[in-house]
A = this chain, B = another copy of it.
Amino acid sequence: MEPADAARLGPERVVRALPPRLLLLPLLPLLLGRGLRAAASASSSGAAAEDSSAMEELATEKEAEESHRQDSVSLLTFILLLTLTILTIWLFKHRRVRFLHETGLAMIYGLIVGVILRYGTTATSGHDKSLSCTQEDRAFSTLLVNVSGKFFEYTLKGEISPGKVNSVEQNDMLRKVTFDPEVFFNILLPPIIFHAGYSLKKRHFFRNLGSILAYAFLGTAVSCFIIGNLMYGVVKLMKIVGQLSDKFYYTDCLFFGAVISATDPVTVLAIFNELHADVDLYALLFGESVLNDAVAIVLSSSIVAYQPAGLNTHAFDAAAFFKSVGIFLGIFSGSFTMGAVTGVVTALVTKFTKLHCFPLLETALFFLMSWSTFLLAEACGFTGVVAVLFCGITQAHYTYNNLSVESRSRTKQLFEVLHFLAENFIFSYMGLALFTFQKHVFSPVFIIGAFVAIFLGRAAHIYPLSFFLNLGRRHKIGWNFQHMMMFSGLRGAMAFALAIRDTASYARQMMFTTTLLIVFFTVWIIGGGTTPMLSWLNIRVGVDPDQDPPPSNDSFQVLQGDGPDSARGNRTKQESAWLFRLWYSFDHNYLKPILTHSGPPLTTTLPAWCGLLARCLTSPQVYDNQEPLREEDSDFILTEGDLTLTYGDSTVTANGSSGSHTAPTSVEVSRRTKGSSEEVLERDLGMGDQKVSSRGTRLVFPLEDNA
């Protein structure tokens, strides 16, 4: 029965048993595939004597078993792909080849396997049977079907666009290697995003927080709007020249703008890490990419939620627009709060229990709490991935300080492995999807337009924003940095996950195909061009993150004339925005002492009438050993006020205690806790003049000279 016929039938609906080729197959049920087999075998072993339809049952059982095997094979394909990627990337690292990152390689292998699956496997014909029945006019989440007296339960997988019901390609293998798009969002992205948040604890991130927030929020919004409008122009053009075969609304264009605005400079950052490129640039790029992922997710769901009342649902409607803005703000702040709250709860739990005696329990708790953020946010209708990001940042900023040394390395390594596997999995899937995905809409005009649009969209926020930021920044973002940021606008896992999430309509399919090509192009070309670009733009490499400004620098020479102490105070003050200073001193004086074992005792920072509370909340360690406690990111962002304060409570030098960062990609360098009192500080200042001055000038990053 043709779907056209079915549609004409009116109340007499069609129930069609077909191979699930049209909607993307969820991968996970493959792990559960034996359920059916077990049920089938149970019925055959249990009641087969009485049942005459044993043969038919056996056939069902065989089919289920076969399906389970195929599922295993397809997952195995991905695992072998990843294994191959790992081995090749080892070879590359071994030989110091830098033009291809592991993600790029994963895509290439994915492409190859995709080609083989597409053209090497024969199209198997499905068992396409139709049955018609009457049906109420809504879909239920579960169906119970009576087949020869046996009841089979079916669960709703999703809707299929009617036009696609018959565009059949009966290739089982292609279907098997196609994942449910929600796998990316709910299983693969969270570890990636959490890891990003958890490794944001770089002191340079906080030093550049203002600029990063500006790039992430304003930048993404500007980029989304510009790309959306440009693409709307392209779509109009396509309509005129007759290249458009289905609807493509303005909201679709804006959605594409949001999807493609999520940058993911994974290859650039890997090379930065390896070459020890400039740490401030690294912080800017990394921070921007992490936060704009969150912005892009929320932005895209706000755009989807834009549904004006009335018939003309694609015209502008002020009420709907403000509702969308409200949704954006609501989801974003809600997810942020969820993440932060879970992080704070974890910090409190790890602070007030002695869980650190049992690293296994501690690590498990940490993992569970971080996961619960995701679920909590999803349960409340917020976005789990965004919540996980902020949870990661909070965990790194507070909880990390309370963990035992072993748990620190355990948690880092655990999430590092998960992140590595998930990321390479996504990229190899992308390569595969180019050939195995069966609903591609290649539109050359749209694709070329999109490339131009993302270029212009990025240019339109990097340069103007940098200009405005430079007005306020003490350490200007030089032209070479701006060019490098412009260049590093790669698109990656997030854009892909957002685009594949919904490929039901023609417009979305075209977007998906275009996004895929943009990811390929940017990852390969930009990834490969990073090293030449770095040297062409004269960006310093081989920087020791602790000793970044080269001593032969002009501004350094000038500043060294001042006393190191005053230079330090002044520069820091000039550098930090008042808002940030406010936050920093609040964080340092109240939040850190409450949530961690570090910082000054609350008894000194809280007003006297809070004495009892302060004593309860302050960690006994602060009293036990009047030494500066663990802190890793405070020594570069001390303001003058803080300096005075810390003179009083002896945490001045505030070097981090050395966690055991054995992870090779981590640039953090162990620093020992020194100086524990004012005298020690004096000694420190006197003894290591070179050291202190270099620490002072670290704050004055000579960006101007490169411009």
Contacts and interface: CB of A to CB of B under 8 A. Distances in A.
Contacts of A306: 45
Interface stretch (A68-76, A388-396, A691-699): A68-76
A355 interface: yes
A159 B43 contact: yes
A372 interface: yes
Given A143-B15, A153-B22, A508 B42 contact: yes
Contacts of A65: 381
Interface residues of A, number: 154
Which residue of A15, A20, A64, A354 has the most chain B CB atoms within 10 A of its CB atom? Answer: A15
A593 B687 CA distance: 55
A137 B15 contact: no
Contacts of A13: 131, 133, 145-147
Contacts of A305: 41
Interface string A190-207: 000000000000000000
Interface in A336-355: 349, 353-355
Interface stretch (A26-34, A455-463, A484-492, A537-545): A26-34
Interface string A1-37: 0010011010001111111101100101101111110
Interface string A43-72: 111111100010010011001110111001
A46 B314 CA distance: 9
A35 B44 contact: no
Contacts of A26: 29, 32, 35
Which residue of A376, A410, A501, A662 has the most chain B CB atoms within 10 A of its CB atom? Answer: A410
Interface in A374-392: 375-376, 378-381
Which residue of A14, A35, A151, A369 has the most chain B CB atoms within 10 A of its CB atom? Answer: A151
A119 interface: no
Contacts of A421: 364, 367-368
Contacts of A131: 13, 133-136
Contacts of A681: none
A239 interface: no
B15 A146 contact: yes
Nearest to A76: B375
A48 B313 contact: yes
A420 B134 CA distance: 50
Contact of A160 (B90, B152, B157): B152
A680 interface: no
26 contacts: A13-B146, A16-B144, A17-B141, A28-B29, A29-B29, A31-B182, A43-B159, A46-B249, A48-B313, A69-B380, A72-B375, A79-B368, A79-B371, A80-B372, A86-B361, A93-B358, A143-B143, A143-B145, A144-B160, A149-B162, A151-B165, A152-B158, A360-B416, A360-B663, A368-B421, A414-B417
A69 B378 contact: yes
Contacts of A536: none
Interface string A229-268: 0000000000000000001010110000000000000000
Nearest to A149: B7
Given A15-B145, A34-B185, A131-B134, 20 more contacts: A17-B143, A17-B144, A28-B31, A35-B180, A35-B181, A38-B182, A43-B159, A46-B249, A49-B313, A56-B138, A67-B141, A80-B372, A83-B372, A86-B364, A86-B368, A89-B361, A129-B136, A136-B147, A139-B147, A413-B414
Contacts of A86: 355, 361, 364-365, 368
A220 interface: no
Contacts of A526: none
A187 interface: yes
Given A153-B22, A153-B160, A180 B139 contact: no
A507 interface: yes
A665 interface: yes
- Identical subunits present: 2
A363 interface: yes
Contact of A20 (B59, B67, B153, B311): B153
A63 to B, nearest CB: 7
A704 interface: no
A44 B307 contact: yes
A444 interface: no
Contact of A15 (B9, B34, B94, B144): B144
A254 to B, nearest CB: 11
A470 interface: no
Given A32-B28, A136-B131, A157-B154, A79 B45 contact: no
A49 B73 CA distance: 43
A135 B146 contact: yes
Nearest to A138: B56
A40 interface: yes
A90 B127 CA distance: 56
A609 interface: no
B501 A247 contact: no
B158 A251 contact: no
A140 interface: yes
Given A68-B378, A87-B349, A365-B87, A133 B136 contact: no
Contacts of A73: 375, 379
A186 interface: yes
Contact of A19 (B39, B142, B312, B420): B142
Given A72-B379, A159-B153, A505 B87 contact: no
A321 to B, nearest CB: 14
Contacts of A317: none
